[in-house]
Chains A and B, each alone.
Chain A
Amino acid sequence: MTVSKDALGFIVTNGGVLSLIQDAGRYGAFNLGLTNGGPTDSLAFYWANKLCGNTINSTAIEISLGGLELIAQVDCVIAITGAPMPLTINGQPKSCWRSFLVKAGDTISLGFTPIGVRCYLAVAGGFTIKPNFGSTATVCRESVGGINGDKLVKNDVLPCQTVSKTDDRLKPLMLAENDQPQYTNEVPLHTVLGYQQAHFSSIEKRLFFSSEYQISQHWDRMGYRLQGRAIRADVDGILSEGICYGAVQIPADGQPIVLLNDRQTIGGYPKIGAVISQDCAKLSQLRQGDKVRFEPISMSQADNMFHLNLRRFSQTKLINYS
Chain B
Amino acid sequence: MSTLINDSIRLEIAGENSLMLYFSDKGQESSIITPSISSNVHQAEQLIRQNFSTEIIDLISSYASILVVFNLLEIDHHHLRNKLKRLLKQCSNASNKQGRLVELPAYYSLESGMDLQRIAKYAKLTVEQVINLHQAQEYRVYAIGFAPGFAYLGEVDKRIAMARLTTPRLKVPKGAIAIADRQTAVYPAQSPGGWNLIGLCPIDMFNAQAEPTMPVEVGDRVKFVEIDKQQYLELGGNLPNQVSSNDCK
Binding site for B on A (CB under 8 A): 27-34, 132-133, 141-144, 192-195, 198, 238-247, 264-267, 271, 273-277, 299, 302-303, 306-307, 310
Contacts and interface: CB of A to CB of B under 8 A. Distances in A.
A31 B148 contact: no
Nearest to B45: A31
The bracket for how many chain B residues form the interface is 35 or more
A244 B18 CA distance: 7
B31 A32 contact: no
Nearest to B33: A239
B58 interface: yes
B64 interface: yes
B15 A303 contact: no
Given A32-B144, A33-B145, A303-B76, A238 B60 contact: no
B16 interface: yes
Contacts of B77: 299, 303
B147 interface: yes
Contact of A266 (B20, B145, B189): B145
Given A32-B149, A33-B206, A273 B60 contact: no
Given A30-B60, A239-B33, A265-B60, A245 B15 contact: yes
Contacts of A141: 147
Given A192-B15, A246-B16, A299 B148 contact: no
Contact of B62 (A195, A242, A244, A264): A242
14 contacts: A27-B69, A28-B58, A29-B58, A33-B148, A192-B13, A239-B64, A240-B63, A242-B67, A247-B15, A265-B146, A266-B143, A299-B1, A299-B16, A303-B72
Grouping DSSP codes into helix (H, G, I), strand (E, B) and loop, the A interface class, with mixed when no group exceeds half, is mixed
B65 A273 contact: no
Interface residues of chain B: helix, strand, loop or mixed (majority): loop
Contact of B18 (A33, A239, A274, A310): A274
A133 to B, nearest CB: 7
B184 interface: no
Interface in B145-162: 145-150, 152
For B64, B69, B206, which residue has the most chain A Cβ atoms within 10 angstroms?
B69
B12 interface: yes
Interface stretch (B169-177, B212-220, B234-242): B212-220
Contacts of A310: 73
Contacts of A274: 14-16, 18
Contacts of A31: 59-61, 144, 217-218
Contact of B150 (A33, A238, A306): A33
Nearest to B49: A31
A265 B58 CA distance: 11
Contacts of A275: 15
A30 B58 contact: yes
A16 to B, nearest CB: 26
A33 B62 contact: no
